[in-house]
């Protein structure tokens, strides 16, 4: 089996802000179970919980050249669930509790160089160096520019994963050239240059052997002018080495049978009765009218345009005319936070607006809701729709990215499907699909088999890890 080294700016459970941390938290463990020697490098942030800091072992330190500077780099090691984690220590760059801040270019320049510099001291030469998102996009560039002159680094293959193409790490060419010690030959339009600036994510795409993203449909969308974020030409040119592999979810954390956060645990046998109990208990907790037969529509999301809240806002008045209870959890743009607060004020019997982040409440909403609403403008993969299905909650999504790949829309002729979807990005298409779903909700002979199909859908990381494993093997042939 292969030796794989992953480099990421965030990794659960040590430090995460979103989906990137979840992926790099779960994928290495799933690959290790397949027999690979998997190791992960991440910054030693100040926000890492003390329980993990206590388990770290100091290995060594060295100095990293950063332009004209030389910066201290300590290396700590922790082994967890079959995976070896290396933490890059520098109090100036990573001692803060915040994962991202004003000097991101400088701190991730340091991190990218450190990821390569420490390998010789670790005496670990990976077969595959797998980098995630723009923060590590320059590692394949540096490997190509400097390190391949050293025999130790020759033959290392590189994979670069795009988690969300919108975030690219675009900075002035002068400062990128300084921190990475690159000459002007790297700043041409076929390399790092991007509309007069330098683009770190583009560096990862240009210099990696393989490029992946987090769902097959998103891999196609990013080659188009609409979804390509001005990199569609480059991604189309890399078509033969661009792969879309859908993410998984943690089946231990999101398991209706064992979840400690939900009111009543359940499985396929007692799905209907126990789901109703979860609903009535949540209605009681949130101060909604208690009615187990009322359709509950859940939203667990960042409240931003990308997630489709502009089209929800367009039809909010018509939504309030439907016979539903809407339970919202999330924070984000002020206009959408206020949209739900105001509607909860006007319609306290219909809307519960929870403008906060609560992992426990999220689990309760997934378990209690009948429908999860997720009308994203674009969605590289999306996890909420998969999590909802693990609890027998049917997702209503827009046909984009990973949503299209993971949700099979209901077919009225065959009765198949594990959710609902609509195509055009507008509120009335969404509303029409929701009304159709609510009509079906009244027909338990159709609805209950759909709930069971949703619960049976396999979104485990094992399935995704097998596809990554096959990709690594093809790359190493």
Highest mean pLDDT (candidates 16-20, 66-70, 365-369): 365-369
Residue 170 has pLDDT above 80, yes or no: yes
> Residue 462 has what pLDDT?
94
* Residue range of the domain that includes 300: 271-458
Question: Quick one: 241 and 293 in the same domain?
Answer: no
Query: For 219-231, how does the pLDDT look when each residue is reduced to its tens digit (9 = 90+)?
Result: 999 999 999 999 9
Query: For 110-121, how does the pLDDT look when each residue is reduced to its tens digit (9 = 90+)?
Result: 999 999 999 999
- Residue 253: inside a domain: no
- Residue 257: inside a domain: no
Q: How far is CA 103 from CA 7, 100, 210, in A?
A: 19, 8, 29
> Residue 465 has what pLDDT?
97
- Residue 33: inside a domain: yes
Question: Quick one: 138 and 32 in the same domain?
Answer: yes
Residue spans of alpha helices (H) in 80-224: 91-94, 104-122, 138-145, 173-180, 200-207, 216-221
Indicate the pairing of strand 197-199 with strand 193-194.
antiparallel
The CATH number of residue 445's host domain is: 3.40.50.2000
Question: Quick one: 27 and 168 in the same domain?
Answer: yes
Distance, in Å, from the CA atom of 59 to the CA atom of 197, rounded to the nearest integer, reads 38
Question: Quick one: 447 and 395 in the same domain?
Answer: yes
Query: For 383-431, how does the pLDDT look when each residue is reduced to its tens digit (9 = 90+)?
Result: 999 999 999 999 999 999 999 999 999 998 998 999 999 999 999 999 9
- Residue 259: inside a domain: no
Question: Quick one: 362 and 454 in the same domain?
Answer: yes
Is the separation of the CB atoms in 299 and 330 below 8 Å? yes
Question: Quick one: 214 and 314 in the same domain?
Answer: no
Distance, in Å, from the CA atom of 364 to the CA atom of 51, rounded to the nearest integer, reads 27
Say how many domains are in the chain: 2
Mean pLDDT within 182-211: 97
Question: Quick one: 351 and 243 in the same domain?
Answer: no
- Residue 265: inside a domain: no
> Residue 303 has what pLDDT?
95
Query: For 321-331, how does the pLDDT look when each residue is reduced to its tens digit (9 = 90+)?
Result: 999 999 999 99
Mean pLDDT within 288-309: 96
Q: Which residues of 1-20 are buried (b: 16+ CB within 10 A; e: fewer)?
A: ebbbbbbbbbbbebbbeebb
Cα 202 to the center of its chain, rounded Å: 20
Mean pLDDT within 79-90: 97
* CB neighbour list of residue 149: distance below 8 Å, 6 or more residues apart: none
Model confidence band, residue 262 (pLDDT cutoffs 50, 70, 90): very high
Question: Quick one: 222 and 138 in the same domain?
Answer: yes
Distance, in Å, from the CA atom of 159 to the CA atom of 467, rounded to the nearest integer, reads 14
Provide the 10 A C-beta neighbour count for residue 281.
17
Question: Quick one: 181 and 277 in the same domain?
Answer: no
Question: Quick one: 113 and 215 in the same domain?
Answer: yes
Model confidence band, residue 16 (pLDDT cutoffs 50, 70, 90): confident
Question: Quick one: 325 and 292 in the same domain?
Answer: yes
Distance, in Å, from the CA atom of 345 to the CA atom of 341, rounded to the nearest integer, reads 6
Provide the 10 A C-beta neighbour count for residue 277.
17
> Residue 252 has what pLDDT?
87
- Residue 320: inside a domain: yes
Residue 97 has pLDDT above 70, yes or no: no
Provide the 10 A C-beta neighbour count for residue 269.
8
- Strand ranges, E, within 44-163: 57-66, 69-80, 83-89, 128-132, 157-162
Is the separation of the CB atoms in 25 and 16 below 8 Å? yes
- Residue 260: inside a domain: no
Q: What percent of the chain has pLDDT over 70?
A: 100
Mean pLDDT of the chain: 96
Model confidence band, residue 357 (pLDDT cutoffs 50, 70, 90): confident
| Closest by Cα among 280, 273, 293 to 442 | 293
SS (H, E, C) 243-281: EECCCCECCCCCCCCCCCCCCCCCCCCCHHHHHHHHHHH
- Residue 388: inside a domain: yes
Question: Quick one: 173 and 282 in the same domain?
Answer: no
Q: Phi-psi category of 48—alpha, beta or left, where left has phi over 0 and alpha has psi -120 to 50?
A: beta
Residue 98 has pLDDT above 80, yes or no: no
Residue 101 has pLDDT above 80, yes or no: no
């Amino acid at each position: 089996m292969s030796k794989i080294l992953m480099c990421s700016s965030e990794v659960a459970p040590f430090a995460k802000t979103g989906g990137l941390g979840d992926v790099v938290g779960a994928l290495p463990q799933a690959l290790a179970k397949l027999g690979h020697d998997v190791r992960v490098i991440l910054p030693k942030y100040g926000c890492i919980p003390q329980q993990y800091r206590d388990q770290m072992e100091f290995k060594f330190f060295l100095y990293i050249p950063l332009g004209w500077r030389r910066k201290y780099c300590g290396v700590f090691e922790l082994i967890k669930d079959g995976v070896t984690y290396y933490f890059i220590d520098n109090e100036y760059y990573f001692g803060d509790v915040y994962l991202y801040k004003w000097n991101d270019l400088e701190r991730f320049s340091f991190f990218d160089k450190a990821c390569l510099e420490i390998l010789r001291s670790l005496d670990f030469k990976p077969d595959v160096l797998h980098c995630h998102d723009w923060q590590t996009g320059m590692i394949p560039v540096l490997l190509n520019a400097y390190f391949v002159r050293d025999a130790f680094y020759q033959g290392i293959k590189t994979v670069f994963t795009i988690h969300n193409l919108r975030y690219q790490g675009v900075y002035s060419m002068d400062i990128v050239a300084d921190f990475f010690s690159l000459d002007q030959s790297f700043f041409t339009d076929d390399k790092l240059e991007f509309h007069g600036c330098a683009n770190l994510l583009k560096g990862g795409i240009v210099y990696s052997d393989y490029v992946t993203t987090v769902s097959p449909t998103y891999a196609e969308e990013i080659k188009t002018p609409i979804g390509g974020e001005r990199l569609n030409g480059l991604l189309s040119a890399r078509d033969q080495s661009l792969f879309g592999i859908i993410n998984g979810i943690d089946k231990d954390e999101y398991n209706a049978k064992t979840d400690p956060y939900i009111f009543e645990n359940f499985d396929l046998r007692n799905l209907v009765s126990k789901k109703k109990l979860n609903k009535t208990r949540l209605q009681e907790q949130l101060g909604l009218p208690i009615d187990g037969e009322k359709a509950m529509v859940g939203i667990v999301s960042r409240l931003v345009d990308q997630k489709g809240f502009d089209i929800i806002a367009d039809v909010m008045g018509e939504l309030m005319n439907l016979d539903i209870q809407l339970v919202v959890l999330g924070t984000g743009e002020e206009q959408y936070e206020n949209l739900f607060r105001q509607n909860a004020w006007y319609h306290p019997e219909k809307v519960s607006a929870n403008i906060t982040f609560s992992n426990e409440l999220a689990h309760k909403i997934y378990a209690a809701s009948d429908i999860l609403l997720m009308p994203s403008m674009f969605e590289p993969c999306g996890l909420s729709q998969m999590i909802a299905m693990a609890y027998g909650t049917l997702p209503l999504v827009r046909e984009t990215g990973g949503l299209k790949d993971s949700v099979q829309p209901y077919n009225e002729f065959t009765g198949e499907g594990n959710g609902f979807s609509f195509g055009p990005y507008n509120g009335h298409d969404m509303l029409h699909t929701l009304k159709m779903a609510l009509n079906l909700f009244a027909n338990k002979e159709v609805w209950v088999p759909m709930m069971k199909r949703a619960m049976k859908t396999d979104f485990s990381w094992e399935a995704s890890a097998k596809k990554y494993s096959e990709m690594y093997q093809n790359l190493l042939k």
